[in-house]
Each structure stands twice: as structure tokens, then as C-alpha cells.
Amino acid sequence: MPDEPGVYQLLLHLPKAARVKVGKLGMFLFPAGYYVYTGSALNGLERRLSRHRRRQKTLHWHIDYLLRYACIEDVTVRQTRRPLECALNREALEEPGAQVIVKSFGSSDCRCPAHLIYLAAGKSSRQRAVETTAASTQCRPSPPPNG
């Protein structure tokens, strides 16, 4: 797949509750469970998703901080040059039990409450219908940083 622009959603699994310092947003307690993170990669989906999957990286985006504790279980992409990130995020917010745990997480450049949605009811019906890849079942969070 060429490195096309687009938007994406990561289905994340946080196996146990974690206190995470999210850059300048501060320290937050994330409940164990499933989350959906919606992002855009208008300069290339392949590069952005590859970066998200890497364990060793400079912490830059809000999601980088949470990915030290959570596993990516599934990825949904839409190749587009249109900014559809907020529309996809609104769909995630409509899932039963969807909650914003950290206001402004991933959404500092728009009016959305956050681009990270906690799925209190577990995986959404859409995500349960998608089988995860063998590689995602082997995902293990990085050990928590010292401190």
C-alpha cells in the first residue's frame, strides 16, 4: 500500500488500570478496558500507523503516552484527503457506554471533547465484527516507566 493520506481509528486494549502522565495535559487514571483513538494522517497513513506500533519513540502526541501501557488490537483506515477525523470520532462517541476520560486528548486542534473514547460497554458492535490480526494478539504493553 502506498503511503496515502487518510484517517484512522485504533482499537486499544488497556489490560489494567494505569496512571499515565499525558504530556502537558497532566496525570490521569485510565480504567482498564477498550478505547478507540481517532486520528488523521494526511501526510501518510503507513508512516503514522508504523510510528504508533513502534515501542521506542520520542513521546510527542497524546496517544504516544497511552501506547506505553495499551495494545493496539485493531486498526481501521479510510484513505482520503478530506478531514473526516471529527466525523469518525463522533461515531465512536455514539457507541453505548462511550465516555471521555481525558478532555482534549488528541483534540487540541478541533472542538471535539477528545479523540480518545473509553468504551465502558467493551468493544463496539462494529469492532467485535472485525477479527483482529495474529500480530495484535501478541501485543504486550511496554513496562511502565520508573517514577
Q: Region 66-89: what's the mean pLDDT?
A: 94
Whether 89 has a pLDDT exceeding 50, the answer reads: yes
Whether 14 has a pLDDT exceeding 50, the answer reads: yes
Q: Region 14-21: what's the mean pLDDT?
A: 96
pLDDT tens figures, 25-63: 999 999 999 999 999 998 899 999 999 999 889 999 999
The pTM for the full model equals 0.84
Q: What pLDDT score does 27 carry?
A: 98
Q: What pLDDT score does 18 carry?
A: 97
Better pLDDT: 83 or 133: 83
Q: What pLDDT score does 8 carry?
A: 96
Q: What pLDDT score does 133 carry?
A: 39
Q: What pLDDT score does 124 carry?
A: 59
pLDDT tens figures, 92-119: 999 999 999 999 999 988 999 999 999 9
Q: Which residues of 84-104 are buried (b: 16+ CB within 10 A; e: fewer)?
A: ebbebbeebbebeebebbbeb
Domain coordinates in residue numbering, the chain: 6-137
Between CA 99 and CA 114 the distance in angstroms is 10
